[in-house]
Amino acid sequence: MDLNVILIFSAAVMIAAIFGSRISSRSGIPVLLVFMFLGILAGTDGILGIDFEDYDITNNICSAALIFIMFYGGFGTNWNAARSVAVPSVLLASLGVVITALLTGVFGHIVLRLEWLDALLLGSVLASTDAASVFSILRSHRLSLKYGTSSLLEMESGSNDPAAYLLVMIFLGLRQGETAGAVSIIYEIFSQIAYALLTGVAIAFLAKKILDRFHFPDGFASIFILAVAVLSYALPSMVGGNGYLSAYLAGILMGNMKIEGKRDLVAFLNAFNAMMQIVIFFLLGLLATPSSMIAEIGIGLPVAIFLLLIARPVAVAAVMTPFKAPLNQQLVICLSGIRGASSIVFSIVVTVAGGYHAGSVFNAVFIVVLLSIMLQGTLLPAFSKKVKMIDAEGDVMKTFNDFDDSSIEFIPFRLDSTSKWTDMRIRDIDVPPNSIIAAIDRDGEAVIPNGGTVLHAGDNLILGISKHEIKSSVTLSEESIGPGHPWAGKKLRDIGTHDTLILMIIRGGKSIIPSGDSVIMPGDIIVKNEKNR
């Protein structure tokens, strides 16, 4: 095919994907489903009839694209928002993946009559949830969920691919006779995790030192970050480590470090990540042949139903119940177990490894993913509202780092009759340096402030302060209290922290000025004054 034709076709696909994303936002259809259908329309059974059946090329391209999606999954996650739900998130991303894989494997063997290793391999391929789908739905619908659930889902979906990939490698090795005995399996688990952790941490801190020491010309810092993402995957993979785990870890460490121009880096990575999603889902759709999937629907459909109704709920209940997670939260987490690109990519890894009829595993997994995105991705926003899991006072965008680097901090507070600002004109009061009274809410009506505006008792003020002028070691921040948070259910006087002052508790949309006897409850949002560590 002529190079110019390929370039024109590629440009047309990207433009169509962009317009498709606008249609998605209006219709509620998950945008990744749009990308996938564009590929199907261009494929063998589609309008253009492009005959594409190269699993090796698809595996290489999609595996590379998945590196950047994993790295961005970490880089874009706000650790301050996710810290309170880190433990259940990590357990869902590890123990939850193992439970899902084993249950699906048992179902595949007993009900679908698959060989044990084939069934367990299929369960492993489908064990992880899709970060791209979860992130896309949370962002496009601005879905802010109670109990820190948005952060929990972001962290789980962004970090559970490595566990699934590890299981795929173990069962694939057993099936091919390359992995034999408990010692071999234990060493593979150790090497995958240990080398990934060491490499991810080392690369993140080395990259931070380089960014601090050298001033890159415009745009080159973004290229440097892409190189870091590639290295964080490739280096541990060369020595038997889990490259995806390393990439995610490097991303989350760097994304939560103080880096000059981080907002620009996140904006670049966000756009690049979107392009990688287009590449993966379009290419997977192009590789898919709907007419050949009919033969695998007897496996794909039952497995999709089992994952949704049995495997995912059991895994969620096993992990979340000890944290006393409410039933409505567990139901939303269950429905959020969307299968996506990583599962299909892992199915291609299995296909390329050999031993299966070309396309059989891919087609079965594709059916599961297609049903999962269509059903769960579409129902999640409405279902969250139905079970009263929407946090009306929250902002899911705060859980992403690209919304955490503003040059101005806005602080709301209320004047009472004892305030020295009450009944004074703005021009006559001592406003803190490098700050401005940005807005006034008076009896439910907005007042645009100027120098002659008189402040009254009961006014709700919003004070804007330049963050770059704050040079102290103390930072004001918000934190959501999940069911498993160590402070949940405790009085402030019993917390015993010397580096943190709780300034305010937001509960049920109401602000509470705390005392030593105030009890922090699950679902609270606390505003704290915390010394940087």
Q: Average per-residue pLDDT in the chain? A: 82
Helix (H), strand (E) counts: the chain: 20, 8
Q: Is 400 a member of any domain? A: no
Classify 463 as helix, strand or coil. strand
Q: Is 401 a member of any domain? A: no
Q: Is 315 a member of any domain? A: yes
Do 383 and 413 fall within a single domain? no
Do 362 and 215 fall within a single domain? yes
Which CATH number characterizes residue 477's domain? Answer: 3.30.70.1450
Q: Encoding tokens for residue 116?
A: 């044990």
Residue 9 is predicted with a pLDDT of: 82
The distance of Cα 212 from the centroid of its chain, to the nearest Å, equals 27
Q: Can you tell me the mean pLDDT for 226-233?
A: 92
Q: Is 262 a member of any domain? A: yes
Which CATH number characterizes residue 357's domain? Answer: 1.20.1530.20
Rounded Cα distance, 374 and 377, in Å: 6
Do 227 and 353 fall within a single domain? yes
Q: Can you tell me the mean pLDDT for 24-41?
A: 74
Contacts of 67 (CB under 8 A, 6+ apart): 229, 230, 233, 243, 244, 247
Rounded Cα distance, 511 and 414, in Å: 10
| Partners of 445 in beta bridges | 442
Residue 469 is predicted with a pLDDT of: 44
Decide if pLDDT at 149 tops 80: yes
Q: Is 398 a member of any domain? A: no
Amino acid, single-letter form, for residue 279: V
Phi and psi for 528 in degrees, rounded to 5? -130, 155
Residue 229 is predicted with a pLDDT of: 92
Residue 358 is predicted with a pLDDT of: 54
Do 25 and 73 fall within a single domain? yes
pLDDT tens per residue, range 490-508: 888 888 666 677 878 888 7
| Partners of 411 in beta bridges | 463
pLDDT tens per residue, range 282-324: 888 888 888 888 888 889 899 999 999 999 999 999 999 998 8
Residue 333 is predicted with a pLDDT of: 92
Full residue range of the structural domain in which residue 46 is found: 3-391
Region of residue 434 (left: phi > 0; alpha: psi -120 to 50; beta: else): left
Q: How many folded domains does the chain comprise?
A: 3
Rounded Cα distance, 158 and 154, in Å: 6
Rounded Cα distance, 346 and 359, in Å: 13
| Partners of 85 in beta bridges | none
Who has greater pLDDT, 270 or 455? 455
Q: Is 434 a member of any domain? A: yes
Do 459 and 445 fall within a single domain? yes
Q: Can you tell me the mean pLDDT for 25-41?
A: 74
Do 211 and 230 fall within a single domain? yes
Do 438 and 480 fall within a single domain? no
Q: Is 503 a member of any domain? A: yes
Sign of the CA dihedral running 134, 135, 140, 144: positive
Phi and psi for 211 in degrees, rounded to 5? -65, -35
Helix (H) or strand (E) holding 501: strand 500-507
Do 417 and 383 fall within a single domain? no
pLDDT tens per residue, range 455-474: 988 888 887 776 554 444 44
Do 461 and 379 fall within a single domain? no
Residues in the chain: 533
CB 227 within 8 A of CB 250: no
Residue 178 is predicted with a pLDDT of: 63
Among 15-19, 455-459, 523-527, top mean pLDDT goes to 455-459
> CA-CA distances (angstroms) from residue 38 to 30, 35, 285, 428, 527?
13, 5, 7, 62, 45
Rounded Cα distance, 465 and 463, in Å: 6
Residue 466 is predicted with a pLDDT of: 63
Q: Encoding tokens for residue 452?
A: 């002659």
Among 415, 432, 467, identify where a domain stops: 467
Rounded Cα distance, 177 and 313, in Å: 33
User: Minimal CA–CA distance to 129: which of 96, 106, 105, 88?
Assistant: 96
Q: Encoding tokens for residue 455?
A: 């402040």
Decide if pLDDT at 404 tops 60: no
Q: Is 397 a member of any domain? A: no
Rounded Cα distance, 156 and 345, in Å: 19
Band (pLDDT 50/70/90 cuts) for residue 405 is: very low
Do 295 and 196 fall within a single domain? yes
User: Minimal CA–CA distance to 83: which of 412, 393, 487, 390?
Assistant: 487
Rounded Cα distance, 196 and 236, in Å: 6
Q: Encoding tokens for residue 461?
A: 């003020």
Residue 403 is predicted with a pLDDT of: 45
pLDDT tens per residue, range 345-374: 888 888 888 766 556 788 899 999 989 988
Who has greater pLDDT, 517 or 531? 517
Do 220 and 275 fall within a single domain? yes
Rounded Cα distance, 270 and 222, in Å: 11
Do 47 and 171 fall within a single domain? yes
Residue 472 is predicted with a pLDDT of: 46
